[in-house]
Amino acid sequence: MSFFSNLFGGANNGLVNGAQAREAVSHGAILLDVRTPMEHEAGTIPGSKNIAVQELAQRLGELDPNQSYVVYCRSGGRSAAAAALLKQNGFANVVDLGGIGNW
């Protein structure tokens, strides 16, 4: 299996640790910060795209369903909801880092 097949199709329930997330990003996955714009401006993982979870359903058109994503928030609740929403809308390669501190 390829790196992405192992990571995105594995038995990890979609959760990854910081090392796995960094490796996914190094292989082309997009970091998606689903915190509010204010939280994002206060501190973020460099290179991440910010779409607040509250806006995600309306902004799905800004994302490529064929792309791989690593989703994160402050503590893990919003990222889990965002990852589920993405998967429900045909985004197959989505994993959840949980909170930004896990990076």
Nearest alpha carbon to residue 66 among 50, 47, 86: 86
Q: Phi/psi at 28 (nearest 5 deg)?
A: 110, 0
Determine whether 73 is an active site residue. Answer: yes
Spot the catalytic one: 7, 73, 80, 94: 73
Query: How far is CA 80 from each of CA 67, 69, 70, rounded to the nearest angstrom?
Result: 18, 13, 11
Active site residues per annotation:
73
